[in-house]
Structures are given as structure tokens and as C-alpha cells.
Amino acid sequence: RGKRAFIAGVADDNGYGWAIAKSLAAAGAEILVGTWVPALNIFESSLRRGKFDESRVLPDGSLMEITKVYPLDAVYDTPEDVPEDVKANKRYAGSSKWTVKEVAESVKEDFGSIDILVHSLANGPEVSKPLLETSRYGYLAAISASSYSYVSLLQHFAPIMNRGGATISLTYIASERIIPGYGGGMSSAKAALESDTQVLAFEAGRKHGIRVNTISAGPLRSRAAKAIGFIDMMIDYSSENAPLQKELSAEEVGNAAAFLASPLASAITGTVLYVDNGLNAMGVGV
Ligand code: NAI
């Protein structure tokens, strides 16, 4: 039987989540995705209308199939956690069962189990503010959406993951080096995500026999990155200064994720894998 993957954080064909889905599909995995509730309608209708068909093409010429799209809001764990105003919000009221616990239950009902869990989502409402000017609300919201969301996903999905399975998240070097402009507590959120990768590797390894790794990716012009505002500068900086002077493609991160999720990586857990053209290894710009 082929492997089954659930990828949280796919809402268009520009981000790392989509590229990871493609690499996993090319390797023979069945693809399920979790899409942020407010983005669900446009993603599903674009899929249906063939808007992504060009980017669905796999190396063998076939089109990536997404078996099922689940609405998901990873800042809420159970229905009891959802505030009234969100419940009543028009964009949320049209969907149901989108808290983390409910999505895991639905996937279990529909498919029984999964082998691969990918967390490719982040959100920081104050990302464009320096940390020194970030509010408590903004900081905690960044941690909730970008770090705890991973703890929660693993908490609820690990019990339905087959032994030997793997989970992967996406992080950014701003966790460990100063990247001016990556504000709002997002640098803090990535530091938490990387530290949690180690602790969760131990706990989920012992309890469920699954591996936990994170990819520290270089800059990509995704929807989320464009919202931060400095992505073109980061891409230029990387091509000027990285050991490999080429633009990073989302596919390169997708392929690294497929490797980490595969039996080729069966002894790799608790690691941060840099997929950034080597930029992390530089001490100064050149
Ligand atoms: P993206 O915009 O394709 O992905 C972010 C996704 O998160 C979107 O689909 C959005 O709808 C979803 N999302 C936001 N809040 C959510 C919530 N509460 N519940 C469920 N989904 C939610 O952008 P990108 O850049 O591909 O981001 C994927 C991951 O890659 C993120 O963790 C990001 O921090 C990381 N990353 C991105 C880099 C870049 O330069 N683009 C560099 C290094 C890491």
C-alpha cells in the first residue's frame, strides 16, 4: 500500500505546502490537505475550475490528485475553544468540524490512518512590527498559530499515525540569527518550533514510533512571505551571499521533505535540516 499524507497549510499553489504535496504525490503518496477555513472556498473553487492544473503536473506527466480537502483552523483545538464571533463569522459558518481535534477524527473516520503529517503554516498578526514594539496579543497569537498549532496537530494525529511514520514542519533561520523585519514574535515562534521538534521527537518516537523533523527553508515568494514585505530583498540577499547562487525553488524543499518522510531517512529524527542553498553556513555577507 502507498503512504497517506496529511498536509496542513495549503491554500494555493505558491507555497511550500503545495510543493511538498507534489513531491510526496510524485513518490506515490495519497494526498489529503488541511486548508485554513477563510481560504477554503477560493482554494476549492480554483481547484475545481482547473486554475491549478498547470502546477498539478508531476514529473511523469500525470496530475497530482488531492483525495480530500479538509477545512482547518489550527488555532482552535476543540469546538469549545471557538469564540462566538468566530463561530458566527460568515466565512466560518459555512464549514464545520475544522478544529484540530475534529479534523483528526474526520481523517480517522474517512481513512483510518496516515503515515505522514506535514505542518506548513504560520501566522503572526504583527509580523511587520519589530519585536520591541510587539504587543502581548500579537506575540501570543504568533506562537499559537505558528508553534502550538504543531504540538496540537501532533497530539491529535499521532494516535492515527502508523509506526514508522514521519512528521515535518517548516521553520526559518530567524529563530537563531537576527533577521531584521521578521517581527511580531515570529522569530520567537520559530525558535519554539525548533526546540519542540527535539522534545516531540523524543516523546512521539517513544510513544508512537514516528519521527519528527523540521526544514529550515530559504526564502520563497509565497503568499505568506509577500505579506511580511521583505521577501524580494531576502531572495536577492540569498543569491548574492549563499554558497549556491541560484534562486531556491519550492520543489527543492518539497523533495527534501519527501526524503525526510521516506524510509531513506529512517534514523533521522529531532533535526533541523537546512534547505537554503547553504546560506545558513555563511558568517558574513560577501
Ligand atoms: P503559504 O502562504 O503558502 O502557507 C501558509 C499557510 O498557512 C497558508 O495556506 C495559510 O492559509 C495557512 N494558515 C495560516 N493560519 C492558519 C491557521 N490558523 N490554521 C490553518 N492554516 C493557517 O506560505 P509559506 O511561506 O509556504 O509558509 C509555509 C511554512 O513555511 C510556514 O511555516 C512558513 O513560516 C515557512 N517558511 C517560509 C519561508 C518563505 O520564505 N516563504 C521561509 C522559511 C519558512
In tens, the pLDDT along 160-212 reads 999 999 999 999 999 999 999 999 999 999 999 999 999 999 999 999 999 99
- CB of 186 sitting under 6 A from ligand 1: no
Among 16, 41, 55, residue to substitute to test ligand 1 (most atoms within 8 Å of Cβ): 16
Whether complex ipTM tops 0.90: yes
- CB of 177 sitting under 6 A from ligand 1: no
- CB of 272 sitting under 6 A from ligand 1: no
- CB of 16 sitting under 6 A from ligand 1: yes
- Residue 1 pLDDT > 90, yes or no? no
pLDDT tens column, 11-52:
999 999 999 999 999 999 999 999 999 999 999 999 999 999
pLDDT grade for 261, boundaries at 50, 70 and 90? very high
Q: For the chain, what's the residue count?
A: 286
Q: Is 182 a catalytic residue?
A: yes
Q: Which residues contact 89 (CB under 8 A, 6 or more apart)?
A: none
pLDDT tens column, 201-256:
999 999 999 999 999 999 999 999 998 889 999 999 999 999 999 999 999 999 99
**Best CA proximity match to 197, nearest among 225, 226, 176, 181:** 176
pLDDT at position 11, please? 98
Atom of ligand 1 nearest to the CA of 193: 32
Angle between helices 250-261 and 16-26 (to 10 degrees): 50
What would you report as the CA-atom Rg of the chain, rounded to the nearest whole angstrom?
18
Give Cα separations from 274 to 126, 206, 260 (angstroms): 26, 25, 12
